Structure 1
Amino acid sequence: MKKTAQIIGLSFLLCRNFSCAEQKVPSSKAEKTTAVASSAQQPLRFSSAIMAIHRDRSGNYWLASHKEGVCRYNGKSVEYFTVDQGLADNQVRSIQEDQLGRIYFGTAQGVCRYEQGKIIRLVENSWEPALKEKDFGQFDLWFNADTKEGAYCYDGEKLSYWAFPLGDKRDVNNAYALTDFSRGKNGALYWATYAAAFIYEGQGVQRIDNETLGLKKEEGLHIRSILKDSKGRLWIGNNGIGVLLMQGDTVLNFSREKGLLMPMEAFRENTEKRAFTKNKGLQSVFLIVEDQKGNIWFSDRDTDLWRFDGKNIQNYKITENDAPSMPLSFYEEENGILLFGLSNGKVYQFDGQSFQERF
């Protein structure tokens, strides 16, 4: 099961709020460069992380970057879109497509839509009552809401804001800006923030935090990814304490169970000294996805990519050199080819045997 949106960022920029209706931004002609199928001959111009990958119904590939906007590849040429062409910000965290074939970008400073060659900025519908849980079903698209403690959602006409139900239960050491979002079966929704996850499965929104998970003080959450897989398992990826797995009322540290987490003493010392020593296992997890075969894939900041087939877990080094190549985005094509967008601005494909540079 693929994630509907990839909203994973390496950092969050300061963002500005906005109000009223849609604002059409005049778009200048997008800059084009010639490209060929093999990016080894004509690589992308991106040097920052690939935050999202999407193939639209016309067959175009859209790639979002951490600092350089987005690009569209039609099989022959590449078009680049930045703030100069109307994007709200050059940090683009997600790409989605609606039922009409319109393309949406969740940026660090708002939501934009590409339609008929123009980029339109969507502005928060602030004059209506606050969004309620009963209204979730009418919203197909969800986006990060800048640094706000909630998320934007769009029903095809208006952009609404939903504030996470924090109440007085706040973690003063962590922000509640959205770090990841995914969908489950029967309209289930899963939001991740640094300090907590929020789950909607039709019976109200459930909060999952340190207390819910029974974590020790030194094992504080720092969530970067969340996934409810096809078998009903909830995976929570953390930057520091690895992968947590929830099955019903049972919670376990998957990384520790697989021997892929440094001992707690070393972790505590590492945290106190702020040394951030590179781990050798599955400890700083920024991406969790499931492919069509039911394999669960994890991306780690220091050890690249891991695949869990339900029994065994295997580590993959994507690039041949030692340069950082952490995957931050994922897309599965109809033929089963897996695409991973890396932190170095490249996209690699996996055919079941090996990795090759794609874009």
Structure 2
Amino acid sequence: MTVHLIKIILLITLSNSFLACNRQGTSNSKQTETKVSKLGKLVSTLDHQIWTIFQDSKGNFWFGSNGNGIYHFNGKALTQITSTDGLVNNMIRGIQEDEKGNIYIETPEGVSQFDGTQFTTLKVIKSANSQWKLTPNDLWFNCNGNANNVYRYDGENLYELELPKQDIQKNLGIDETQISYSPYTVFGVNKDKSGNLWLGTVLAGAFRFDGHSFLWVGEKELSRLPDGREPGVRSILEDNDGHIWLSNFKSKYSIKPNLPKGYEQQTAVELSRETGRDKILYFNSGLADDKGHLWMTTYGGGVWKYDGKSLSNIEIKNGTKDVLLISIYQDNNGVIWLGTNNDGVYKQNGMTFEKFKPNL
């Protein structure tokens, strides 16, 4: 894969993500049995662009597409649900569940709450700094807005919060007046093992919020690269040694409050010259399995696994065609799934992955 092709791929992926979260209505949530059979229409196949995957506490799967709504699979029937059924938008960017069993579907136009019967769009409340809080039951959304915003839902209200500004011109060489979007646009939203919130941005590096204060990781490899690429910090992982991986295989970070920056940067893995030249060194989605192994996806570069010692690559192809990976997800039984931009969904089968076809 050439550097030129990598630039094009990343630019396409990036441009698809720059969409804003609109301010719309809200309602109270309540626990109820999921009854999606009354919504949507029965279908036999998934869309070829499935960007996000989620399994709820009842065992149902939700597959979010990039433009054709969401697909609900209960093991027997596959139902396609769209904006005609109450979804705020058909481009699905994330799926979560609260402690009451309500499902939250994140889109570029806002967040839809599903209580088992109907969809309601959550109203966004612009918040002062006092609403920067961190509790175990909060849900966090980014909506990939064109501003330095992230959204916290506390079970009643969806608060729009702003990241603290940094001197990114001095530290990263980014002049905000020369770009048409906010460098603080939030991509990655993850929590570490201690419950700290990590927020990755398009150009302004990454932020760690511990419930009281922010730690900023402002390194040039997390911003605009020398060749002009802007991969962004899309996924944040913690390995078995407590190191934080910020969307790339080059560096990992140890949090050390006694140091001037509050962290120490280390080499993540030693990459061969061939890998460094021909493979994408940045991942767009990742997870840590129950053994602490890291699994990461790259767009057109397959799945990467880090077992604590070495980094290995699993190619994902349909015949001779590269499968373009968007997301990775581990279900309630520990099985790993892949969301793609051109070939539906792939499911782990032993040491490899195979295309998922609902058994209807």
Q: Secondary structure at the match of 1:289?
A: strand
Partner of 1:197: 206
Partner residue, 1:110: 110
Give deviations 1:166-212, integer Å, cap 9, x for gaps.
Answer: 15546335632221111112321111111111112355111112369
What secondary structure is seen at the aligned counterpart in 2 of 1:137? Answer: coil
Compared with structure 1, are the counterparts of its residues 137 and 334 closer, same or farther at alpha carbon in structure 2 (3 Å cutoff)? closer
Instruction: State the alpha-carbon separation in 1 of the partners of residues 22 and 166 from structure 2.
Output: 22
Distance 1:336 1:16 in 2: 32
User: In the alignment, does 2:293 pair up with 1:295?
Assistant: yes
Match of 2:124 in 1: 124
Taking the TM superposition and a 5 Å limit, the aligned residue runs for 1:167-316 are: 167=166, 169=168, 171=174, 172=176, 173=179, 175-195=183-203, 196-202=205-211, 204-210=213-219, 222-223=231-232, 224-237=234-247, 243-248=250-255, 249-254=263-268, 257-259=271-273, 262=276, 280-316=278-314
Find the residue that maps to 1:84 and give its secondary structure.
Answer: helix
Give the superposition deviation at 1:16. Answer: 5.6
Aligned 1:73-92 pairs, distance under 5 A: 73-92=73-92
The alpha-carbon deviation at position 233 of structure 1 amounts to 1.2
| Deviation (angstroms), 1:55 | 0.9
- Other structure's SS at 2:286 match: strand
User: Given residue 198 of structure 1, which amino acid in structure 2 is its aligned partner?
Assistant: F
> Structure 2 CA distance, aligned partners of 1:104 and 1:20?
14
Shift of 1:124: 0.8
Following superposition, the deviation at residue 96 of structure 1 comes to: 0.2
Instruction: Report matched runs for 1:332-343 at 5 Å.
Output: 332-343=330-341
Contact 2:55 2:332 in 1 (8 A): no
| 1:221-276 alpha-carbon deviations (Å, 9 max, x no partner) | 632222223431111115xxx5431134442454664546546xxxxxxxxxxxxx
Aligned to 1:15: 20
**What is the RMSD computed on CA atoms of the aligned residues?**
3.1
Q: Tell me the residue number matched to 1:147.
A: 146
What runs of 5+ residues in structure 1 fail to find an aligned partner? 1-7, 36-42, 264-279
Alignment-mate amino acid for residue 47 of structure 1? H
- Give the counterpart letter for 1:236 in structure 2: L
Letter in 2 for 1:152: Y
1:161 aligned residue: 160
Is the CA contact 2:238–2:288 (under 8 Å) kept in the aligned structure 1? no
What displacement does 1:15 show?
2.9
Unpaired runs of 5+ residues, structure 2, are 1-12, 30-35, 256-262
Taking a change above 3 Å as real, the CA distance of residues 355 and 52 of structure 1, as seen in their structure-2 partners, is same
The aligned counterpart of 1:137 is 135
Deviation at 1:325, TM superposition (A): 1.4
- Deviation larger for 185-194 or 223-232: 223-232
Deviation, 1:89, is: 1.6
Aligned partners of 2:245 and 2:252 also within 8 Å: yes
Q: What amino acid maps onto 1:247 in structure 2?
A: S
- Measure, in 2, the Cα distance between the counterparts of 1:19 and 1:332: 32
- Whole-angstrom distance in 1 between the partners of 2:70 and 2:159: 24
Distance in 2 (alpha carbons) for counterparts of 1:181 and 1:9: 16
Closer/same/farther in 2, CA of residues 13 and 69 from structure 1, 3 Å limit:
farther
2:71 alignment counterpart: 71
Partner Cα distance (2:147, 2:107) in 1: 13
Where 1:288 maps in the other structure, the secondary structure is: strand
C-alpha distance 250-259 of structure 1, shift in aligned 2 (>3 A): farther
Q: Which amino acid is 1:245 matched to? A: K
Deviates more, 1:116-125 or 1:228-237: 228-237
Aligned residue identity for 2:162: A
Distance in 2 separating the partners of 1:260 and 1:136: 43
Deviations 1:55-106 (A, max 9, x none): 1122110011122221100111111122222222211111000000000011
Q: Give the counterpart letter for 2:110 in structure 1.
A: G
Instruction: Tell me the residue number matched to 1:40.
Output: none
SS across alignment from 2:134: helix
CA distance in 2: counterparts of 1:164 and 1:175, whole angstroms? 11
Contact 1:21 1:125 in 2 (8 A): no
Task: Specify the SS of the correspondent of 2:125.
Answer: coil
Paired residue type of 2:42: T
Give the match's secondary structure for 2:241. coil
Q: TM-score under structure 2 normalisation?
A: 0.78
Contact 1:51 1:64 in 2 (8 A): yes
Q: Secondary structure of 1:11's match? A: helix
Q: CA deviation at 1:302?
A: 2.8
Structure 1 residue 164: Cα displacement: 0.8
Q: Distance in 1 between matches of 2:108 and 2:229?
A: 26
